[in-house]
Amino acid sequence: MTRNRLLLGFTLSVMGTGLFTGCERSPDKAPEAKPAAPAPVAEQAPAPKPTALDAAAVAKLASHFFQAPRNQAPLPDDTAEQVALGRMLFHEPRLSKNHDVSCNSCHGLDTFGVDNKALSEGHKKQKGSRNSPTVYNAAHYIAQFWDGRAATLEAQAEGPMMNPVEMAMPDAKRVEATLSSIPEYSTRFRTAFPKGGKPVTLANAARALAAFERTLTTPSRFDRFLAGEHVALSAQEQRGLEAFVTTGCTTCHNGPAVGGSSFQKLGLVEAYPALTDAGRFDATKNEDDRGYFRVPTLRNVEMTGPYLHDGSVKDLPTMVRLMGRYQLGRTLKDGEVDDLVAFLKSLTGELPPTERISAPPLPPSTKRTPKPDPS
């Protein structure tokens, strides 16, 4: 299956200005010697507004968003059967101990891959310590989770199933026993993974989930702008883009996902107040990684609040001001914040069609299927 790309999955041409004509009207009767009066200028269609930036400036700004993260694991070739299975598993609550939590519970595909809560609820309504990041465009991250402890989407997919606060499955055997007890899943696993021995495994379930998640991309007006359609962004949005680059935001938020390509210290210029989360240190135990987090994507950021690893910031303008102060050492003016927020909103993309992200019909349990366990 052709790999999904955020910026290369569609072809766009530069928009031209085109020609416009005024509406024609039948003139009133007049002596034949008099020509018909021309249509009033006011009835002619207005010419398109000029862009705020010239082509050279646009190309320079756009260059920050094409480079993929270094050391990113290569994307495998996913099959249609793996993607279809992964979609089912993404919505499958029986992958949780009490059959009441699915991947979609915290990463709602119809709400831009999040649940818009500071901290999500898992098994027995327990809450974790970190905000659930969006699953959209996650294939372009250098690593998964806020601390980067999973190098790939496959490794990430296994984690929540076994996490006692999230889906709380006791072990891989319970996952495999649940899926094997359902005939349709056994058939679909054999079709999706025809090579090798036992097809129904935790590893293959994670592989299918990752294959599905690699299809979750959200092309936006910003992509059209990068592809040459410079009128896709308004003058204010282009000012915001220019400010985004010149103030240094692209130091962290760059590449196809506008983030996700590096680990950065929260409070780089000025210590971030009340920061207790050790960040990447939890994964590496390297003291130099304390307070570092994988940079989040800014795609769909308008729709994926609240913000930061702990979901402590509720609105986007406040988040922009905080990043200006603690990451860049700048007190941003109101006009700069307005322009930056306008640009960030241009990153809100189009969700995949409903038939691709809605919950599909799931096969029924059997007598062999482990029962829900609320303990």
Task: Round to whole Å and give the CA distance between 255 and 69.
Answer: 7
- Three-state secondary structure call for residue 209: helix
Of 368, 57, 355, which is closest to residue 215 (Cα–Cα)?
A: 355
Task: Round to whole Å and give the CA distance between 287 and 158.
Answer: 27
Q: Which two tokens stand for residue 303?
A: 């729709």
Task: Round to whole Å and give the CA distance between 291 and 267.
Answer: 8
Task: Round to whole Å and give the CA distance between 212 and 83.
Answer: 4
Catalytic pick from 92, 154, 166, 213? Answer: 166
Task: Round to whole Å and give the CA distance between 286 and 184.
Answer: 45
Of 152, 132, 141, 167, which is closest to residue 203 (Cα–Cα)?
A: 152
Burial class (CB in 10 A: 0-12, 13-18, 19+), 180: middle
Number of C-beta neighbours around residue 89 at 10 A? 23
- Three-state secondary structure call for residue 144: strand
- The amino acid occupying position 22 is G
**Is 166 designated active site?**
yes
Q: Say which residue the tokens 């700004």 belong to.
A: 61
HEC string of 234-275 equals: CHHHHHHHHHHHHCCHHHCCCCCCCCCCCEEECCCCCCCCCC
Active site residues: 166
